[in-house]
Amino acid sequence: MNRIIEVIYEDNVLKPLKPIKGLKKNERTWVIICPHPKKKALRELVGTLSSEEAEEMQKLIDEEFEKIEGEW
């Protein structure tokens, strides 16, 4: 019964945001901690490339991923 659930860390306790089905009261289980990705991290990158750099990057991406006729 492996699954990923979202929890909040509050008062030194991990608290699930929704009830966890399949676990009995006081049952022990394993937890793997993976911090929730922060949306602001991506926002901080906006505007870090000049227009010229963005155009060059787009050109390289287009060249790398161009569709080859008849391949698919």
Mean pLDDT value across residues 47-72: 82
pLDDT tens string 3-48: 889 999 999 999 999 999 988 989 999 999 988 776 777 778 888 8
CA distance 58 to 52: 10
What is the per-residue pLDDT for 69?
Answer: 65
What is the per-residue pLDDT for 72?
Answer: 59
Helix (H) or strand (E) holding 64: helix 51-64
72 or 57: which leads in pLDDT: 57
Q: Provide the whole-model pTM.
A: 0.45
Residue 6 near residue 16 (C-beta atoms within 8 A): yes
Backbone dihedral region for residue 53 (phi beyond 0: left; psi -120 to 50: alpha; all else: beta):
alpha
